[in-house]
């Protein structure tokens, strides 16, 4: 099975399209290409109960779980709304990502 190619990278600002956090925006902190999942800062937070160990005290931690990449969309730099991503080659030969809604380059 081949890995899916994602158009979302670490550091991108995305908006959640479905689920309990629908409409929220956040920054991508981790990308898992094997499972097509992304971890977004402040999105899909759950409480995890941990037992105390010799290295760390126990307690209840709040962690962010990954969500599927199809449930997030890149934020358009111009309008601030969700947009699809395309690619365009510049005159000097470099390939850049482009917001389909406004045509602005991303990065």
pLDDT, tens digit, for every residue of 57-74?
Answer: 999 999 999 999 999 999
The number of domains in the chain is 2
List pLDDT tens digits, range 67-100: 999 999 999 999 999 999 999 999 999 999 999 9
The reply to whether 7 and 53 lie within a common domain is yes
Amino acid 1: pLDDT: 59
Are residue 12 and residue 43 in the same domain, yes or no?
yes
Q: Are 70 and 98 in the same domain?
A: no
Strand partners of residue 16 = 72
Please tell me the pTM assigned to this model: 0.84
The reply to whether 52 and 31 lie within a common domain is: yes
CATH number, domain with residue 9 = 2.30.30.30
Same domain, 68 and 101: no
CB neighbour list of residue 97: distance below 8 Å, 6 or more residues apart: 7, 85, 86, 87, 105, 106, 107
Bin 93: left if φ > 0, else alpha if -120 < ψ < 50, else beta.
Answer: left
Range of the structural domain that residue 7 is part of = 1-75
CA 89 vs CA 10, 23, 50, 101: distances in Å: 22, 31, 49, 17
């Amino acid at each position: 099975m081949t890995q899916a190619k994602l158009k979302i990278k670490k550091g991108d600002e995305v908006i959640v399209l479905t689920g309990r956090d629908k409409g929220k925006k956040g920054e991508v902190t981790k990308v898992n290409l094997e499972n097509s999942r992304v971890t977004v800062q402040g999105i899909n937070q759950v409480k995890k109960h941990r037992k105390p160990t010799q290295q760390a005290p126990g307690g209840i931690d709040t962690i962010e779980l990954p969500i599927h990449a199809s449930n997030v969309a890149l934020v358009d730099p111009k309008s601030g709304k969700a947009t699809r991503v395309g690619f365009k080659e510049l005159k000097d030969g470099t390939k850049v990502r482009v917001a389909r809604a406004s045509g602005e380059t991303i990065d």
